């Protein structure tokens, strides 16, 4: 396998721009000081209660995501390019969703196959023909970015449903500022603390036209047993909005109210962190006790904005992802700034044949999968696993796509053996409002802590890092 590109240095002596001060500091700092700081960081996270739950893991009801105290640095020119590309991509995503739920131009033009949309489990027929207040479906997007060399950033995934992780971006920064004030003094690091303001402004901007001048926003959570509950309560707190569960809401005459100590209060915008299927038992899963009966009627009547909109999951689909370059060109008439990872759609016979012949070098993913589940990393799997996966692939080729195994960039990481390179990705958060697109410089850097591992998901042993975007 090729040697991965390291974002700090290619060799002991060299250093890439932006990392000079950090490298000098790392070289001069004894490992036990780093250990102490790491222990302090862990204590801070425990104290804050920033925990998550891993599904299916009984004894680990509450864990903290491992935090690496060595920051990941992105220079100003790199960020400028990235953020332009992100804005472009999310604009295209919104145009695409608006289109497929109304006229379907892109389908009739034959650019994206119809069955990929209409037979997609995340396509919501209930949304067909529903006119959203501002033609914005994805107010909050988390776009996963990986890097393979100094110049190439790839989009690995678009998360257009309910992307999570932004609380870690914010808390990681807080903790780093407590632990390493000197490093902050020596760098000019773009702040991220304005994210909650940007989010609230975005959410208010997409309120229904009938809403009052200062609309009421609430965050809908599945409840304290959800793995991301900490983030929900954290965001509600930072935004100064109510954190509601389904049972706190009621719909009367197609208007949504929350039950308060002073009686019912109208809600205009719902930042929902609940999947489509659970939103409204009258429309979707009838057994959902997390949702709000009648919510979809209020939504269709234009009395409440749901953020993100219902039905955005289509854009998360990895087969749809493979059409993103065409989607950008179709709606914006521009060349995509951010590249897609070359993707073989196994639904196409030629592609399937190629993938089956090259399983040992490829990563195969379920089109609707997330969280790093249900995928095959060819080079890391043994022959038997590959053969079993090959059989699954042949049985249901439509469910899979395949990509070459990328040599993800690495970033210096403090592990048991000392400072060593580990693979990283980046999830910036892109906010789309009626007025403009807002992107806080940075995002969540996830790091695969196991040597050689490419899986950065927190559910599978990944950790996080603070991400520093240097000011020009």
Partner 1 sequence: MLSRTADNLFWLARYVERAENTARIIDAANRLAAMPIAYAGGSNEWESAVAATGALGLFKSLNREPTAENIIDFLAFSPENPSSIRSCLERARVNARTVRTALTSEMWDAINGAWLGLRDFNGASRDRMKLNEFLVYVKEASLRFDGSAYRTMIRNDVYFFSSLGTFIERADNTARILDVKYHLLLPAEESVGGGLDFFQWSSILRSVSANTAYHWVYRESLKPWLVADLLVLNDQLPRSLASCYDNICAFLDELSLAYGRQGQAQRVARSTRNRLQNASIDDVFSGGLHEFLTEFIADNGRLGQAITDQYLA
User: Which listed range, 3-11, 12-20, 131-139, 258-266, lies at the site for partner 1 (CB under 8 A)?
Assistant: 258-266
Burial track 60-98 (b if 16+ CB lie within 10 A, e otherwise): eeeebbbbbbbbbbbbbebbeebbebbbbbbbbbbbbbb
* Residue of 160, 236, 401, 448 interacting with partner 1 (CB under 8 A): 236
* Residue of 78, 99, 245, 280 interacting with partner 1 (CB under 8 A): 245
According to CB under 8 A, which residues from 6 to 65 bind partner 1?
46-47, 49
Cβ-based nearer residue to partner 1, 242 or 326: 242
Kindly state the tokens that stand for 123.
């396509």
According to CB under 8 A, which residues from 206 to 235 bind partner 1?
223-224, 229, 233-234
List, in order, residues 6 or more apart from 310 with CB less than 8 Å away.
Answer: 124, 126, 127, 276, 279, 296, 299
What element of type H or E holds 409?
none
Asked whether the CA dihedral 99, 101, 104, 106 is positive or negative, the reply is positive
Q: Report in angstroms how near the CB of residue 196 gets to partner 1 at its nearest.
A: 12
Cβ-based nearer residue to partner 1, 135 or 248: 248
Distance CA(72)–CA(8), nearest Å, equals 9
* Residue of 64, 176, 199, 244 interacting with partner 1 (CB under 8 A): 244
Q: Report in angstroms how near the CB of residue 228 gets to partner 1 at its nearest.
A: 13
Among residues 140, 145, 142, 141, the alpha carbon closest in space to that of 156 is found at 145
Kindly state the tokens that stand for 372.
């790093």
> Virtual CA dihedral for 137, 87, 446, 74, nearest 10 degrees?
-160
Cβ-based nearer residue to partner 1, 251 or 314: 251
Cβ-based nearer residue to partner 1, 86 or 244: 244
According to CB under 8 A, which residues from 287 to 346 bind partner 1?
none
Cβ-based nearer residue to partner 1, 234 or 400: 234
SS3 191: coil
Q: Report in angstroms how near the CB of residue 418 gets to partner 1 at its nearest.
A: 30
Look-up: residue for tokens 């914010």?
A: 170
Residue 108 binding partner 1, by CB under 8 A: no
User: Which listed range, 254-262, 359-367, 428-436, 444-452, lies at the site for partner 1 (CB under 8 A)?
Assistant: 254-262
- Determine the angle formed by the axes of helices 229-239 and 195-205, rounding to 10 degrees: 80
- Determine the angle formed by the axes of helices 76-100 and 324-332, rounding to 10 degrees: 80
Cβ-based nearer residue to partner 1, 113 or 223: 223
Residue 250 binding partner 1, by CB under 8 A: no
* Residue of 243, 292, 346, 367 interacting with partner 1 (CB under 8 A): 243
Q: Report in angstroms how near the CB of residue 218 gets to partner 1 at its nearest.
A: 9
Kindly state the tokens that stand for 1.
């396998």
Q: Report in angstroms how near the CB of residue 177 gets to partner 1 at its nearest.
A: 16
What does the radius of gyration of the chain's CA atoms come to, in whole angstroms? 22
Q: What angle do CA 192, 196, 199 make, to 5 degrees?
A: 110
String marking each residue 172-211 x if it binds partner 1 according to CB under 8 A = ----------------------------------------
Cβ-based nearer residue to partner 1, 141 or 258: 258
Among residues 243, 340, 226, 220, the alpha carbon closest in space to that of 292 is found at 220
Kindly state the tokens that stand for 193.
């603390």
User: Which listed range, 67-75, 110-118, 179-187, 255-263, lies at the site for partner 1 (CB under 8 A)?
Assistant: 255-263
Cβ-based nearer residue to partner 1, 247 or 358: 247
Distance CA(411)–CA(69), nearest Å, equals 12
Look-up: residue for tokens 């699954």?
A: 392
Cβ-based nearer residue to partner 1, 215 or 412: 215
Q: Report in angstroms how near the CB of residue 447 gets to partner 1 at its nearest.
A: 27
* Residue of 40, 105, 135, 242 interacting with partner 1 (CB under 8 A): 242
Q: H helices of 279-399, where?
A: 295-300, 318-321, 324-332, 349-357, 383-395
According to CB under 8 A, which residues from 417 to 456 bind partner 1?
none
Cβ-based nearer residue to partner 1, 75 or 233: 233
Distance CA(469)–CA(472), nearest Å, equals 9
Residues that bind partner 1 (CB under 8 A): 46-47, 49, 223-224, 229, 233-234, 236-237, 242-245, 247-248, 258-262
């Amino acid at each position: 396998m090729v040697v991965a590109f390291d974002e700090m240095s290619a060799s002991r002596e060299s250093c890439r721009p932006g990392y000079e001060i950090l490298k000098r500091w790392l070289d001069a700092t004894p490992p036990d000081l780093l250990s102490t700081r790491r222990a302090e960081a862990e204590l801070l996270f425990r104290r804050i209660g920033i925990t998550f739950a891993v599904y299916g893991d009984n004894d680990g009801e509450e864990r903290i995501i491992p935090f690496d105290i060595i920051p990941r640095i992105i220079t100003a020119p790199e960020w400028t390019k990235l953020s332009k590309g992100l804005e472009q991509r999310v604009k295209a995503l919104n145009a695409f969703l608006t289109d497929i739920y109304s006229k379907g131009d892109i389908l009739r033009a034959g650019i994206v196959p119809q069955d990929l949309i209409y037979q997609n489990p995340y396509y919501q027929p209930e949304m067909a023909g529903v006119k959203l207040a501002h033609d914005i479906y994805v107010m909050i997007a988390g776009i996963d970015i990986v890097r393979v060399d100094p110049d190439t950033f790839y989009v690995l995934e678009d998360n257009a449903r309910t992307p999570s992780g932004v609380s870690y971006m914010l808390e990681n920064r807080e903790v780093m500022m407590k632990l390493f004030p000197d490093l902050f003094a020596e760098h000019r690091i773009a702040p991220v603390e304005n994210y909650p303001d940007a989010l609230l402004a975005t959410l208010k901007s997409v309120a229904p036209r009938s809403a009052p001048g200062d609309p009421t926003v609430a965050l809908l959570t599945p409840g304290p047993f959800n793995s991301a509950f900490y983030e929900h309560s954290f965001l509600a707190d930072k935004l100064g909005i109510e954190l509601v569960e389904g049972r706190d809401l009621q719909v009367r005459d197609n208007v949504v109210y929350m039950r308060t100590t002073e009686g019912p209060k109208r809600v205009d915008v719902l930042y929902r962190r609940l999947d489509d299927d659970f939103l409204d038992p009258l429309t979707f899963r009838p057994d959902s006790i997390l949702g709000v009966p009648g919510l979809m009627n209020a939504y269709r009547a234009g009395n409440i904005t749901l953020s993100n909109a219902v039905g955005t999951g289509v854009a998360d689909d990895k087969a749809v992802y493979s059409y993103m370059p065409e989607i950008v060109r179709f709606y914006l008439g521009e060349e995509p700034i951010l590249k897609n990872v070359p993707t073989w759609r196994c639904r196409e016979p030629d592609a399937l044949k190629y993938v089956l012949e090259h399983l040992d070098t490829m990563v195969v993913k379920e089109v609707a999968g997330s969280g790093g589940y249900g995928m095959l990393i060819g080079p890391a799997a043994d022959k038997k696993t590959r053969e079993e996966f090959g059989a699954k692939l042949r049985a249901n080729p439509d469910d899979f796509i395949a990509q070459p195994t990328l040599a993800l960039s690495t970033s210096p990481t403090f592990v048991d053996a000392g400072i060593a390179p580990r693979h990283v990705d980046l999830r910036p958060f892109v906010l789309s409002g009626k007025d403009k697109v807002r992107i806080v410089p940075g995002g969540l850097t996830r790091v695969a802590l196991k040597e050689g591992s490419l899986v950065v998901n927190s559910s599978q042993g990944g950790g996080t890092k603070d991400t520093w975007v240097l000011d020009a």
